[in-house]
A = this chain, B = another copy of it.
Amino acid sequence: MPEIQGLEDSAQNSDIDPELDAWEQLEAIVAKGDADAVRTFINNLPPGESSRLITQMSEDEQQELLSILRDEDAAELLGSLPEIQAAQLLSSLPADQAAHIFDEMYSGDQVGLLDQLSEQQSNAILEEMKPEEAENVRFLAKYEYDTAGGLMITELLAFDGKLTVDDVISDLRTNAEKYAEYNVQYIYVLKEDRQLHGVLRLRDLLLARPKHTISRIMIDNPTRVSDSTSLQELQLLFDSRPFFGLPVVDAENRLVGVIRRADVEKASEEEAGRTFLQFAGILGGEELRSLPLKIRCARRLSWLSLNILLNVVAASVIAFYEETLAAVIALAVFLPIVSDMSGCSGNQSVAVSTRELVLGVIKPSDFWYVFRKEFTLGLINGIVLGILLGSVAWVWKGTPALGLVVGGALAANTLVAVCLGAMIPMILKGFKMDPALASGAILTTLTDMCGFFLVLSLAQLMLPWLVPRV
């Protein structure tokens, strides 16, 4: 655990030219090969800056940096980076070096990182780790990544409830150094067979009589979470109450770990980032520019190629109306507008539904509540937008019927898009699929088809009023 220390005393610690930018300074210090100087430099960087510096280093420089650092410092550095960047750095190291760094990390971080590596890489690292650490990781790796079991740490303090306050305090004093790493806030009290019995706050230990047993001063029947609790439930739980950490128990109520607020928070942030990127069509949900080009291209293209297919399907509607289009070529100007505007309206609804699902404000079963709310909104927005675009079309071409066709089609299609956009994420979520990823593509395909159909079929109906009589 890093000590609490001042952040201000950062400038004076090196004889490196302060005129150099941070990157050049780090390069110069790494070149000197002084582990302490590198550690001090990195610790004194503004938060987040280490991640940015490493991004800009070449792979060789990154390896050099990690080789110079002591294992515990390298572990701390990796723990502070976005998970995907840390995994990328680790995968470039020889397995034994990676394993030594791994040994120094929190168990929760270890599992998260191994999850991002290939099976071959993670096995190689596990084989080189200390046997007891590796066994612990293998135990934790059985859990799904986004459950309490997958996010918890196993470094915790637990004592039998029959011990006295004195026993516990003297054990704390004796093992102070080891426990300092655990960053303990609560002490867990156990019954037979590691059954969770109670929880003890440090302040209560501080104020209690030395001869009392700890089961007497503990808080009985503490809040606990099952190891299968999902990330979303954990997030809501920690949001609603000021816990710093909660004990995690298995199906038999045996204490298996501690889930800390910080772990839930980090996982939620990574999850929110993934949702955001998936919404914009980044498959796998995480991309940093420092990833290899091949992976970045492949991930983006797999999404885009699907999209091109859907686009062709949608646009094929236009092909059925080429005669109408040829007669009123001005329609070609408005087709992309109707398509884009409906996409925008629909995406707003998709975003609100996705957000409300994440917040837990709605569930897939609240279908009709959401539909009623969106229908009214879609109707109003449709009418307003229809009048706007219709007026533009009328004024521009001087043909009132063109305004009617384009405006009417946009109004109707906005209503469709708003309702579909609200429903699709709920339906996907109901089928346990990820709403952020697929909603946009499904939505725009459907609204494009519907929009093109509306514009062109309306135009066909109104053809006599659209084509100036010669």
Residues of A at under 8 Å CB distance from B?
1-9, 46-52, 55-56, 80, 82, 85, 169, 172-173, 176, 183-185, 199, 202-203, 205-207, 219, 221-224, 232-233, 236-244, 261-262, 265-266, 268-269, 272-273, 275-277, 279-282, 287-290, 293, 296-297, 300-301, 303-305, 307-308, 311-312, 314-316, 318-319, 322, 325-326, 329-337, 339-341, 343-345, 347-348, 350-352, 354-356, 358-363, 366, 369-370, 373-374, 376-377, 380-381, 384-385, 388-389, 392, 444, 448, 452
Give, as a whole number of angstroms, the nearest-CB distance from A254 to chain B. 16
Other-chain contact of A222, B5, B239, B340 (Cβ < 8 Å): B5
Structural contact, B384 and A301, CB atoms closer than 8 A: yes
Q: Please, which residues of chain B bring their CB within 8 A of the CB of A332?
A: 318, 322, 325, 331-332, 335
Interface centre among A265, A331, A388 (most CB of B within 10 A): A265
Give the docked Cα–Cα distance between A50 and B239 (Å).
12
Task: In the A-B complex, list the 9 residue pairs whose CB atoms are closest, starting with the nearest.
Answer: A48-B360, A280-B351, A48-B236, A47-B236, A80-B240, A47-B237, A6-B221, A332-B332, A289-B373
Structural contact, A366 and B56, CB atoms closer than 8 A: yes
Give, as a whole number of angstroms, the nearest-CB distance from A434 to chain B. 14
Give, as a whole number of angstroms, the nearest-CB distance from A457 to chain B. 15
| Copy count, this protein chain | 2
Give the docked Cα–Cα distance between A348 and B297 (Å).
11
16 inter-chain pairs at a CB distance below 8 angstroms, sorted by A residue, are A47-B239, A50-B240, A52-B360, A56-B366, A185-B185, A272-B272, A273-B358, A276-B351, A276-B355, A287-B352, A288-B359, A301-B385, A312-B389, A314-B336, A319-B333, A335-B335
